């Protein structure tokens, strides 16, 4: 298949960027009460990767240490994470997700999936097939 001219690729890139951003913004609105996107991201990381130090979480989220400290404090106050002493560094703590944190994370995921499934339900079979292929391609692009 011949490569598209640069102008066509730039146009496709622009349309994809706008579509992905609009969908992402809309999905971010579908969350459980009192859970910010940053808090959701921290909970998702803790569930997927296991406990971590605040500095590791800050680096992963590309935020400052004081910002992550505030996020962890809010999550701790809400019972969504818990802090424990670091096993090898007496000066550090390790943060882990709690059962309540898992439930808040899963509730947000369910809301987002339900919102998107309702929109997908209105599409034609060929559109759903195209989106299935696009989802795989977008994941591949994002992980390159």
What is the per-residue pLDDT across 109-131, written as a single tens digit (0 to 9) for each?
A: 999 999 999 999 999 999 999 99
Which pLDDT score is estimated for 2?
A: 61
pTM reported for the whole predicted model? 0.81
Q: Are 69 and 54 in contact (CB under 8 A)?
A: yes
- What CATH number labels 22-142? 1.10.10.10
| For range 129-137, the mean pLDDT | 96
Q: Are 94 and 55 in contact (CB under 8 A)?
A: no
Q: How far is CA 22 from the centre of its chain?
A: 15
pLDDT band at residue 91 using 50, 70 and 90 as cut-offs:
confident
Q: Is the pLDDT of residue 3 over 70?
A: no
H helices of 1-144, where? 6-28, 37-49, 54-61, 65-77, 99-120, 125-142
What is the full DSSP assignment across 35-50? --HHHHHHHHHHHHH-
Which pLDDT score is estimated for 4?
A: 61
Q: Choose from 11-15, 31-35, 42-46 the range with maximum mean pLDDT.
A: 42-46
Which pLDDT score is estimated for 1?
A: 61
Angle at CA 43, nearest 5°, toward 25 and 101?
115
Q: Where is average pLDDT lowest: 30-39, 63-72, 79-88?
A: 30-39
Domain boundaries, the chain: 22-142
Which pLDDT score is estimated for 77?
A: 96
Q: How far apart are CA 130 and CA 117, in angstroms?
A: 15
Which pLDDT score is estimated for 55?
A: 94
Which pLDDT score is estimated for 43?
A: 97
**Residue 15 backbone dihedrals phi, psi, to 5 degrees:** -65, -40
């Amino acid at each position: 298949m011949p490569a598209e001219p640069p102008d066509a690729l730039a146009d496709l890139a622009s349309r994809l960027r706008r579509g992905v951003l609009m969908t992402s913004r809309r999905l971010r609105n579908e969350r459980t009460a009192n859970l910010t996107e940053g808090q959701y991201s921290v909970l998702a990381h803790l569930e997927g990767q296991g406990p971590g130090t605040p500095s590791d979480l800050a680096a992963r989220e590309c935020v400052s240490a004081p910002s992550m400290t505030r996020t962890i404090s809010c999550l701790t106050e809400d019972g969504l994470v818990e802090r424990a002493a670091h096993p090898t560094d007496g000066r550090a703590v390790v943060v882990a997700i709690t059962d309540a944190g898992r439930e808040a994370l899963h509730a947000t995921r369910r809301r987002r999936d339900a919102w998107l499934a309702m929109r997908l339900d209105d599409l034609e079979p060929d559109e759903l097939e195209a989106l299935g292929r696009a989802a795989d391609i977008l994941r591949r692009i994002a992980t390159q």
